[in-house]
Amino acid sequence: MIHETVQACRAYYATGVARQMTVRLNALKRLHIALREKEADLVRALEQELGKPSFEAFMTEFATVYREIEYVTAHLEEWAKPETVPRSIDTMMARTEIIREPLGVVLIIVPTNYPVQLALMPLISAISAGNTAVIRMSGSLPNVSSELRDLIRRVFRPGHVELIDGTQDPHNELLQQRFDKILFTGSTHTATKIMSVAARTLTPVLLELGGKNPAIVLRDADVVAAARKIAWGKFVNAGQTCVAPDHVYVHREVAAAFLEELKRAIDEFYGDDPALGPHYSRIGNQRHFDRLCQLLTADLNLVKGGRILAEERYIAPTVATDVPLDHPLLRDEIFGPILPVLEYRDINSVIEQIRAKEKPLAAYVFGQKEAFARKVLLRLPSGGGCVNDTLLQVSAQGAPFGGVGHSGMGSYHGRYGFEAFSHQRTVVTSPANLMNSMLYPPYESWKEKLLRRVLTKKLK
């Protein structure tokens, strides 16, 4: 069944229909309409399986997709136009163009944390470039997968886009198939396995991973605003966000005030008992829940939260201080609602600590002296980041989203997604009856002198 599904996509791609501009635009517009019609069903499935509040689901799963479709459809024809390249001495009689062509059949592997957004945002990029696609959902989200499959079938013809959930592919047979590009969102550990498999067929990959995303609260920061923004960025979706602040460095002179404001922000956002309120998500699957519970060791100094409800996969918004540097919370990506807060004295030592680790997907710096805060941020290697905010770099329209090093490879969103799933093909068109005799034998001395004069000019 897996092989047949991929072959159906390859056969549909071979017809050339998917690369027609009217087909691309109409498919995206139909997706916009159908998603609005299916939104309530998908929100209900997200609430059932992930405990997502409806507002949070709309904000993080749907709003970004609607805006992306609107942005891409408004600019796609312009992006897809052949790009003319200036003439050079060897193409002086020809016309050189760069033509964006689709790659073929794309595989999109979707995690559990934002299953709607992380299925459809890459799909928009793939379809806008003229590809066909297979979406691979997690087997732990049967209701969400079922609703998304219905959405896909409403919008796309068989073979244009197909959806498979993990229960249909228990042995990862999909990865044994031949694709023209793979986009994977998930952990660095799994990404290395996918890259290993893709290397056998030289299949290009686009990896959206994560990492130890630092947040730094400088001595002059507005601690009230910083605490609220960090609390939101960390605990939205119960911390299961690849760009969430993983841990916070706060200057020792404002550490006490920051911690009080952080606890106050959590109470304001989620109430005295988040488990009873309608504003806080649950952990996506049992494996991640068990992993997070193991991180909450007895020796931790928890100043907020720590409550666990196993039957709901609930972990309260949790803040830890005085965390030992060798503790797993400071070694591996947390990807959950546990926030270590570390005091510091010297900002240069903090920067050195961060730079000594693998490059994270995001970095955040808070300070009222914006120029200095920006200077600190630019000394921190990361996929993206914010000064005096969190998460917003992901939703910045017209900007690329992607990691670097262990936090990812390649980027997408908007034009960057269109380019990521396109091949930039150089095509030179020469007149049929004109020749550039400069290039042909016999190689007379005057030709060499002229070429050297033209091609070896001194730099200014």
**Do the domain assignments include residue 144?**
yes
Q: What is the pLDDT of residue 376?
A: 98
| 115 & 226 share domain | no
Does 377 fall in a domain? yes
List of residues 6+ apart from 269 with CB closer than 8 A: 231, 232, 235, 279
- Cα gap 318→305, rounded to integer Å: 4
Asked if residue 264 and residue 352 are part of one domain, the reply reads yes
User: Do residues 222 and 195 both lie within one domain?
Assistant: no
Q: Structural domain of residue 343, as residue ranges?
A: 214-402
Instruction: List the catalytic residue out of 242, 261, 333, 386.
Output: 242
CB 316 within 8 A of CB 306: yes
Query: Measured between alpha carbons, how far is residue 14 from residues 11, 18, 164 in Å?
Result: 5, 9, 21
Stretch (H or E) spanning 300: none
Assess whether 49 and 144 both reside in one domain: yes
Q: Do residues 255 and 262 make contact, with C-beta atoms less than 8 angstroms apart?
A: no
The answer to whether residue 262 scores a pLDDT higher than 80 is: yes
208 is catalytic: yes
* Domain presence at residue 237: yes
341 and 230 both lie in a single domain: yes
**Whether residue 99 sits in one domain with residue 193:** yes
The answer to whether residue 428 is domain-embedded is: no
Write down the pTM of the prediction: 0.95
Q: Is the pLDDT of residue 349 over 80?
A: yes
| CB under 8 A, 24+ apart: contacts of 325-331 | 327/297, 327/300, 328/294, 328/295, 329/247, 329/295, 329/300, 330/212, 330/247
Residue 114, token pair as written in the block: 């934002």
- Residues of the chain with pLDDT > 70: what percent? 100
- d(CA 69, CA 256) in angstroms, rounded, equals 44
Q: Can 242 be counted among the known catalytic residues? A: yes
* Rounded distance between C-alpha atoms, residue 184 and residue 136, angstroms: 10
Q: How confident is the model at residue 457 (pLDDT cuts 50, 70, 90)?
A: confident
Residue 240 shares a structural domain with residue 380:
yes
Same domain, 52 and 194: yes
Query: Is 10 part of any domain?
Result: yes
Residue 109 lies in a domain: yes
Is residue 455 in a domain? Answer: no
What helix, strand, coil percent values describe the chain, rounded to 5? 45, 20, 35
CATH number of the domain enclosing 8 = 3.40.605.10
User: Which tens digit of pLDDT belongs to each residue from 297-318?
Assistant: 888 999 999 999 999 999 999 9
Token pair for 325: 């540097």
Q: Is residue 437 part of a domain?
A: no
- How far apart (Å, rounded) are the C-alpha atoms in residues 43 and 62? 9
**Average of per-residue pLDDT values in the chain:** 96
Q: How confident is the model at residue 397 (pLDDT cuts 50, 70, 90)?
A: very high
Q: Does a cis peptide bond (omega within 30 degrees of 0) precede residue 442?
A: yes
Of 68, 162, 208, 343, the active-site residue reads: 208
Q: Are 201 and 346 part of one and the same domain?
A: no
What CATH number does residue 226 fall under? 3.40.309.10
Q: Please tell me the predicted confidence (pLDDT) of residue 218.
A: 98
- For residues 106 and 237, membership in a common domain is answered with no
Which of the four pLDDT bands, split at 50, 70 and 90, describes residue 344? Answer: very high
Number of domains present in the structure of the chain: 2
Residue of higher predicted confidence among 405 and 452: 405
Q: Are residues 241 and 191 in the same domain?
A: no
Mean pLDDT throughout 109-125?
A: 98
How many residues make up the chain in this entry? 460
Task: Examine the domain organization and report whether 180 and 248 are in the same domain.
Answer: no
